[in-house]
Structure 1
Amino acid sequence: MQSYSQQRRFLFAVDCIIFGYDGQELKLLVIKRGLEPLKGSWSLVGGFIGENESSENAAVRVLKDLTGLDGLYMEQLHGFTEPDRDSVERTISIAYFALIDIQKYNQQISEDYHPAWFSINQLPELIFDHTKIVELAKEKLRYKAALHPLLFELLPEKFTMPQLQSLYEAVYNTEFDKGNFNRKLLSTKLLFKLKEKDKLNSKKGAFYYMVDSDKYSEGFKSFLNLVPSQNANK
């Protein structure tokens, strides 16, 4: 069998940036590292890519090991290849970000990894280059959410417009004008209003909405320029 005998072998891994929304804050799921060096330090969820796995399959496996679920929204972020990014051996990491509804999945997250949710604006110190990875993931999420309705992956099946606006404000760390925000969202025709109201958070009550799954599956073009200030060249 032929081989590239003069080439050094590297380790390949995946790191998963798991964003969640609890109704008030955008959060990041991190775990306690289970091996040396830096055992017990906060880390992104990750693992090594198996000999017969693609990086995507490895990321799906890692997420399922943690949450017990398939079918989470997941997207490849970037490859991290700096020679000294891991202090033990040269390790190349392919990072993926995933979006989950905290209320839906929280009960299924395995305690074996000592998981914890932290506000995206108040993160603990993370191992290696994981803080850099998270910062890039935040930028990518903001860019993508300006063009596509992927933030619905963070919400329950039915939600109110104030809840949706709160989510966008958490992601962009800014405030939106209520009237303009509602008008832009409803103009996409991706939402339909339910007769039911949420009366727990206000006396008047806010109508619940749901996403039109058919239009959502057709594509994301309807949300183009929802947040026009984002850099279109990313």
Structure 2
Amino acid sequence: MINKTERREHAQVEVTVDLVIFTVRDDQLHVLLIERGQEPFADWPALPGGYVRVGEHLDGAALRELQEETGVDGSRLHLEQFRTYGDPERDPRGRVITVAYLALSPDLPIARAGTDARAADWVPVEAVLDGQIALAFDHVLILREALERARSQLEYTTIAAAFCTEPFTVAELRRVYEVVWGFKLDPSNFRRKVTRAHGFLRPTGEHRSPEIGRPAALYRCGAARLLSPPLLRSSDVADAQFTTPALR
């Protein structure tokens, strides 16, 4: 039985959800940010999110907050929990633990703000990571770790297809890897690896004719969820002649 002294030592905790939503727009990796309409950090950009309601499941809270703050329907996104953040000083309102979600999707429409968000917009990830844009709370840390999670997922799972609108070409899929990883890949090596990966791509039998060059085969994502063999961020797929600075 817990006595009154022990009970007072227990932290009074609030629970929130925060969402890192990545998409590829204009050949850059973008993240969805809102402008906070309330204190603390009023007018600051932040990740979408909010408090979990009584009796509400975490996934349900994430989907609700996403819809309320940005107008984005999370049911059509790849959405997964990736970490919980509980630093006692992370929120000036008190002890707030947040469950962070990673979401991935093809090019999404312009977001609309709602509830306590004054604005919502897609922002290049690099603009945040290089310090051009400061985020509220510990959201830069959450963003950095979500990016690394997404990069790792591309190595071992078929999640890259979540950034593509089906049907897609191998070149379009390769561009997803390049944008997320932050460097160019050798086209021939990449094609060989992804087309040989068990269950990753499913040919449609159709082709897309570009303005210049040969028609490109079209694919859909196969049934596999894990890449076998994995596609590692290593020199055997990188094109050293055309490398670009990686996102920090």
TM-score normalised by the chain length of structure 1 = 0.85
Aligned residue identity for 1:192: R
Q: For the structure 1 residues 193 and 182, does the alpha-carbon distance in structure 2 shift closer, same or farther, using more than 3 Å as the test?
A: same
Equivalent residue, structure 2, for 1:176? 185
Equivalent residue, structure 2, for 1:187? 196
Aligned mate of 1:88, from 86, 93, 109: 93
Report the secondary structure of 1:122's partner residue. helix
Gaps of 5+ in 1: 230-234
How many Å apart are 1:45 and its aligned residue? Answer: 0.5
Pairing 1:121–2:123 present = no
**In structure 1, distance between residues paired with 2:11 and 2:157:** 41
- 8 Å CA contact 2:35–2:120 kept in 1: the answer is yes
**In structure 1, distance between residues paired with 2:217 and 2:76:** 28
- 8 Å CA contact 2:30–2:124 kept in 1: the answer is yes
How many Å apart are 1:13 and its aligned residue? Answer: 0.6
Deviations 1:48-100 (A, max 9, x none): 01111232221122233331342421111111111111122221111111111
Root-mean-square deviation over aligned CA pairs: 2.3
Equivalent residue, structure 1, for 2:36? 33
The size of the alignment, in residue pairs, is 221
Report the secondary structure of 1:159's partner residue. coil
- 8 Å CA contact 2:156–2:226 kept in 1: the answer is yes
**In structure 1, distance between residues paired with 2:219 and 2:134:** 38
Pairing 1:152–2:161 present = yes
Moved more, 76-85 or 60-69: 60-69
Moved more, 130-139 or 190-199: 190-199
- 8 Å CA contact 1:64–1:70 kept in 2: the answer is no
How many Å apart are 1:221 and its aligned residue? Answer: 4.2
Gaps of 5+ in 2: 235-248
Equivalent residue, structure 2, for 1:232? none
**In structure 2, distance between residues paired with 1:200 and 1:115:** 34
Report the secondary structure of 1:134's partner residue. helix
Pairing 1:220–2:226 present = yes
**In structure 2, distance between residues paired with 1:78 and 1:201:** 44
Aligned mate of 2:48, from 25, 45, 50: 45
- 8 Å CA contact 2:174–2:190 kept in 1: the answer is yes
Aligned mate of 2:57, from 41, 54, 59: 54
